[in-house]
């Protein structure tokens, strides 16, 4: 190899990367099986003049960082150096027996996947740059392979998945999507027993589409209802339908295939160029608009409309689409009623005021939207002692054209 290594296996600016070996490893990565990624990461790190490399993926509830190397122990997201890198999307350095470990976030687009730990002898810009390059490469590999890998899915779980949740999770998008002008992030619980709740979001050119659903019941039928609703919405959206078309397609699909089932929901369409927000509320709690450090009460309220999927005389003649214009930095919050109806041991509800205050305070503290919701869903779970009476789903999107 052409890489000169210190006793710690790290490099400095004067050392040369073995480009031929690195190219071989990248070609190898195309067909590498997911369980082979830890060893591949080590070989890539060596070719880059770095030391050891360790891959960790976050678990479904974002409490633990699970190693892909099965002989290693999990690390807590809260209270560890690796977790700090995950939470803040910033490198973090820790002492190791033979030098230093730099923890780097693994990110695919806007989605946090986990962390990469690489060994270095000392902190130098070239080592950090190569570490970031390796983290970016591995994040893309993980994303491409987890779409078909049961092993990667199983590694991110800490409990048995119930069948309705397994079905519904097959339809869910990444927790976070976005562009330079907008970001949408969502969480849902109970992670392994979800049935009727779901979220969806997608960026199409400069338009952000978001949706939150809450189906009747908490069983396989509820999960099937939500899954059909999501499929119908995507089908209409991908066919070029506008917001009214999308809602109409979901109404028709449920009425045709599951005539005894229905769901409530909110569907939104944000033009990230102009800030124009259009939305339809179908029997669901109204969206909340957060501007600065306060909730603008009632701004996104609208006259009540029937739930989605009602057939016969109960079916709506036409859906009303509402419109407003956001200001830069505005956040829109969608949620299911399980959030505010969570109760403590004395029967007191978590409540809307506590819910919105948590988000406002976290935003003011500089937390990123995905981290705000991670902390919030854990607060809701803690409030109810991890015994949720209903599914809880939260989606938060932000318009930020100033970040161009």
Q: Are residues 144 and 55 in the same domain?
A: yes
Quick check: is 61 in a domain? Answer: yes
pLDDT at position 195 = 82
Helix spans in 203-351 (H) = 220-238, 243-257
- 115 in any annotated domain: yes
Pairing of strands 288-291, 294-295: antiparallel
* 275 and 173 in a common domain: yes
Predicted structure pTM score:
0.91
Three-class SS state of 80: coil
Provide the CATH number for the domain around residue 303. Answer: 3.60.40.10
Q: Where is the domain boundary, 119, 154, 189?
A: 154
pLDDT of residue 7: 34
At residue 2, the pLDDT reads 33
Q: State how far the Cα of 105 lies from the Cα of 114, in Å rounded to an integer.
A: 6
HEC sequence for 169-220: HCCCCCCEEECCCEEEEEEEECCCCCCCEEEEEEEECCEEEEEEEEECCCCH
Last residue of a domain, one of 103, 138, 154: 154
Based on the fold, state whether residues 200 and 278 are members of the same structural domain: yes
Q: How many CA atoms lie within 13 A of 286 on its CB side?
A: 15
CATH of the domain at 37: 3.30.450.40
Mean pLDDT of residues grouped by 10 in the chain (404 residues)?
A: 36 57 83 94 91 96 97 97 97 90 96 96 89 95 92 96 93 94 96 92 96 91 95 96 94 93 96 98 96 92 92 80 97 93 87 92 91 95 86 95 66
Centre a 10 Å sphere on the Cβ of residue 14 and count the other Cβ atoms it contains.
Answer: 7
Residue 70 near residue 54 (C-beta atoms within 8 A): no
- On whether both 199 and 97 belong to a single domain, the answer is no
Q: What is the pLDDT of residue 266?
A: 98
The enclosing H or E element of 151 equals helix 150-155
pLDDT on residue 21: 77
pLDDT at residue 317, as a whole number: 78
Q: Is residue 89 part of a domain?
A: yes
Domain assignment present for residue 118? The answer is yes
Q: Based on the fold, state whether residues 214 and 362 are members of the same structural domain.
A: yes
180 and 321 together in one domain: yes
Q: Determine the structural domain holding residue 235 and report its residue range.
A: 160-399
Give the model's pLDDT for residue 307: 95
């Amino acid at each position: 190899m052409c890489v000169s290594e210190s006793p710690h296996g790290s490099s400095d600016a004067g050392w040369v990367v073995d480009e031929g070996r690195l190219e071989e490893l990248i070609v190898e990565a195309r067909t590498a099986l997911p369980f082979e990624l830890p060893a591949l990461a080590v070989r890539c790190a060596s070719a880059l003049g770095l030391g050891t490399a360790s891959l960790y993926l976050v678990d479904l509830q974002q409490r633990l960082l699970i190693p892909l190397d099965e002989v290693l122990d999990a690390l807590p997201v809260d209270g560890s150096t690796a977790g700090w890198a995950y939470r803040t999307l910033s490198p973090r350095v820790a002492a190791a027996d033979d030098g230093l470990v730099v923890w780097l976030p693994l990110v695919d687009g806007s989605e946090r996947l986990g962390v990469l730990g690489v060994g270095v002898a000392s902190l130098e810009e070239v080592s950090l740059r190569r570490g970031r390059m390796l983290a970016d490469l591995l994040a893309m590999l993980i994303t491409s392979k987890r779409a078909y890998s049961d092993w990667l899915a199983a590694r991110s779980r800490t409990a048995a998945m119930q069948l309705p949740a397994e079905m519904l999770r097959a339809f869910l998008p990444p927790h976070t999507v976005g562009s330079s002008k907008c970001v949408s992030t969502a969480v849902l619980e109970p992670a392994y027993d979800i049935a009727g709740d779901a979220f969806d979001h997608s960026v199409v050119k400069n338009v952000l589409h978001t949706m939150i659903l809450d189906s009747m019941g908490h069983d396989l039928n509820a999960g099937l209802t939500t899954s059909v609703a999501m499929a119908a919405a995507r089908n209409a959206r991908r066919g070029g339908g506008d917001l009214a078309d999308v809602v109409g397609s979901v109404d028709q699909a449920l009425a045709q295939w599951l005539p005894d089932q229905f769901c409530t929901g909110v569907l939104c369409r944000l033009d990230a160029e102009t800030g124009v927000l259009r939305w339809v509320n179908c029997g669901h709690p109204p969206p909340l608009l957060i501007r600065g450090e306060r909730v603008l009460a009632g701004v996104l309220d609208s006259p009540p409309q029937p739930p989605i999927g009602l057939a016969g005389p109960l079916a709506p003649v036409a859906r009303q689409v509402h419109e407003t214009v956001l200001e830069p930095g505005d956040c829109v919050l969608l949620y299911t009623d399980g959030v505010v109806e969570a109760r403590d041991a004395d029967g007191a509800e978590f409540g809307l005021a506590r819910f919105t205050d948590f988000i406002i305070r976290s935003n003011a503290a500089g937390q990123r939207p995905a981290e705000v919701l991670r902390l919030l869903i854990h607060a809701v779970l803690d409030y109810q002692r991890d015994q949720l009476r209903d599914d809880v789903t939260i989606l938060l999107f932000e318009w930020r054209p100033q970040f161009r």
